[in-house]
Amino acid sequence: MENAVEVKDLHIIYKGLKKMSIKQSITKFKINRMETFEALKGITFNLQKGKILGIIGKNGSGKSTLLRAIAGIFAPDSGTIDLKGNSVSLLSIGAGFQNKLTGFENIILSGLLLGFSEETVRKKIPEIIEFSELGDFIYKPVKTYSSGMYSKLAFSITAILETDIMLIDEVLSVGDIHFREKSGNRMQQIIKDESKTVIIVSHSMGTIKDLCDEVLWINDGVMMEHGETKTVCDHYEEFMKNLKQQ
């Protein structure tokens, strides 16, 4: 089977100013130095078309950074990401919307950024609004939305305007019980479509075990294991158990 995603020796480095007091800056006559942090350290994996990959790891391990790199938000400092010409969308609470624009306007903007024509997006708008359950709030600025409302709109756009590759960052765990159930059912429909490839980041081991064909475990930017879901999850849970006992 052909690959939908090929990641080879991926390195992502964050750069920021090292904190210094004004007094230190004046007395040392130096501009604040640059600090670097390597978020991803040589990640390599392939994902076949139609497969569902779960990415797990403790907080700060680089899971969301990896998703954003695959989505094209972050450029690799070294290494390569090959999507084989597939379209890709990132579903994340912290990404994608312009807060001053209304939900309606963000639907159009998001669709255009995903590569769809405005005509295609407008045809899908009624379905997106209905699925989101936002009602008249769809015409209010996104900055007025709760996190639950934000997640409903984000999920609805990505679920209705389906791309070849869907990247999902923790969104399934947000929102009311009814919407979580509905979004879960929608995800099951997408997953059954063998033409769709899905990558999910989640701290919910139940979600990972229920939905994913395979799992990638990252720890502090390093790939620990990539393989069959149950095997990798068992190893990760044992690792976390030992970590808490230390």
What is d(CA 84, CA 49) in angstroms, rounded to the nearest whole number?
10
**Span 59-74, pLDDT tens digits:** 999 999 999 999 998 9
Provide the phi-psi class of 189: left if phi over 0, else alpha when psi is between -120 and 50, else beta: alpha
pLDDT band at 162 (very low <50, low <70, confident <90, very high): confident
| Segment of 24-28, 112-116, 126-130, 166-170 carrying the highest mean pLDDT | 126-130
Domain hosting residue 43, numbered range: 3-245
pTM, whole model, 2 decimals?
0.80
Q: Which 3 state secondary structure label does DSSP give 246? A: coil
What is d(CA 239, CA 221) in angstroms, rounded to the nearest whole number?
16
C-alpha closest to that of 172 among 163, 158, 161: 158
Determine the angle formed by the axes of helices 147-160 and 177-192, rounding to 10 degrees. Answer: 20
Q: How many domains does the chain have?
A: 1
Question: What's the CATH code of the domain at 149?
Answer: 3.40.50.300
Confidence (pLDDT) at 237 = 95
What is d(CA 49, CA 47) in angstroms, rounded to the nearest whole number?
7
Provide the phi-psi class of 59: left if phi over 0, else alpha when psi is between -120 and 50, else beta: beta
Dmax (CA) of the chain: 64
